[in-house]
A and B are shown apart, each in its own frame.
Chain A
Amino acid sequence: MSESIERAPSATQYPRYVDASQVRGKFETTIEEVIEAVSEVTVIARRDGLVALMTHLRDEPSLRFDYLSDIAGLDLGEFASPRFALSYHLYSLTHNHRLRIKVLLDEEDPRVPTMCPLWKSANWLEREIYDMFGVTFDGHPDLRRILMPVDYEGHPLRKDFPIKGY
């Protein structure tokens, strides 16, 4: 087990994540926490002021997050509070850097403002989360189920949804 393995000239500096501290000062009430782990930066944001934060991230020339890669839903568990988390993965084609914005939501009131006016790609990504987790997006132009049938009951990716026999 001691032989050395030749490693490729690695590109571990990629993907590059942006330093979120400069944003933190401007959005003190919205940003709860900035976490750096596994060389990725996560900004935990509150729902209030989320649109203003996202608009700033998109339009500020030094950040310029013009590309919304992905929105991922996460169920933190049946008895967890807050129960849901949404991870917005932003990318900047201009500066080639990334950032993750995470919003935590309570089970009683799982709603966030839509990002459709900022990035058109949010449309289907938000519909998928509405379908899979039952999180509502305020102001979404066409919030319908997307993968499951229209008359389906339940949200399959919630942790209390069984893998078989539902």
Chain B
Amino acid sequence: MLRKPDPLADTQMTISLGPQHPSTHGVLRLELVLDGETVIRAIPDIGYLHTGIEKTMEKEKWQQVVTVTCRMDYLNSFGNDLGYCLAVEKLMGVEAPKRAQDLRVLFTELNRLSSHLVWFGTHAMDIGAMTAFFYAFVHREKILDLYECATGARLHQSYFIIGGTRWDLPANFIDLCDEFLKGFPQFLDECKRLVTGNKIFQRRTMGVGIIPKESAISWALSGPTIRGSGVNWDIRKTEPYSGYDTYDFKVPVYDGCDVWSRYLVRMDEMEESWKICVEALKRLREPGEHMANHPKLKLPERDLMKKHIDVMIHHFLVASEGFTVPIGEVYQSIESARGEIGFYVVSDGKERPYRVHTRAPSFVNLSALPEMVEGSLLADVVAVIGSIDIVLGDVDR
């Protein structure tokens, strides 16, 4: 709803940015009260992409919910699935076997790369650097091809399920992934040379969209957005899950509190993610079990089902009725490409979740946008939106 402009201040003007504006990365609408080109007030208007995912989860069976979680933050699907699976596994007292954890680490980190590449391309394009977009998307395609090879889907993979992963890697995946990872550092170097040293890009981002450290904590920013404000907090380090404590990586932190710092954090983060990917791929060369040995989670082998009627009945029951999860509630948060994604899962002991609430990182990060842009120029709003890297599917759910 549009606010009435102050009739006495005839220099003020209210404009609506979005929801179809390409620089809003989806369907975000901003009401901007401008004085000349200076933003006096900014009021984000969201909900254009609200699809009631939390409500939908309540009618899906436990194992089916992963097909919905990956549709929230569609650039970081693996991360969403991982958060939900870890929450339910915690409730059930199940732990994924080592190979499944390595698979999860590899794919969430590849996902961080592909998500950051979309951010890199679009953020640079918002500011006016067209070329970076094409470079970034060519390499993102290569990562999507890897997803397709392993999971059969490019965007909504639903590859992680409760207890492990849906299936093991295909035979040719390791070589394909190895080939991609070998070429990645050179490409990242190209990206940095293309944009980081660019004087125009620097002038457009340095000192823009300032959010001080105390403010960033109070607004509960997370991910690269808070690390660009000098807060050294990464859930992979502070509350490690899926064996992240066994990987050697750094958490890049910059204390400029501006768009430029957030840019540098993400660029460095891609390098660290690449390191984790290389290590995880090395571990995946060893064979192992990809699914927890739990009677309700691991479905029986096909040939056993053909021989034994009780195995057949067991498979039929698990596949048709699903399984139950002990009564209780858990909150599990993980570090997605955008920040802390938390799953608050409540079970009433039935075969469907009673309630799944998602703490969406984009939603919380976006709420601090007015503080970042008020007082700056209209053109900077676009740079700031790009720097907090929102995905509207995650904001609106």
Contacts and interface: CB of A to CB of B under 8 A. Distances in A.
Interface of A: 1, 3, 5-12, 14-16, 37-38, 40, 42, 66-70, 72-75, 87, 89, 93, 96, 98, 100, 119-121, 123-125, 128, 132, 145-150, 156-157, 161, 163
A6 B219 contact: no
B250 interface: no
Contacts of A38: 90-91, 328-330
Nearest to A37: B328
Interface in B82-112: 90-91, 95, 97-99, 101-102
B359 A148 contact: no
Contact of B240 (A3, A11, A69, A156): A11
Given A8-B242, A40-B330, A69 B54 contact: no
4 closest Cβ contacts across the A-B interface? A121-B220, A70-B359, A72-B357, A124-B367
Contacts of B1: 150
Given A40-B331, A119-B218, A124-B363, A14 B241 contact: yes
A40 to B, nearest CB: 6
Interface residues of B, number: 59
Given A6-B98, A37-B329, A66-B218, 13 more contacts: A5-B98, A5-B293, A8-B246, A14-B241, A16-B239, A69-B331, A70-B357, A96-B239, A98-B331, A100-B331, A120-B219, A147-B46, A157-B55
Contacts of B46: 146-147
B72 interface: no
B8 to A, nearest CB: 23
Contacts of A156: 52, 55
Contacts of A73: 357
Contacts of A161: 55
Given A120-B368, A156-B55, A146 B47 contact: yes
Given A9-B246, A124-B364, A124-B367, A15 B333 contact: yes
A14 B50 CA distance: 32
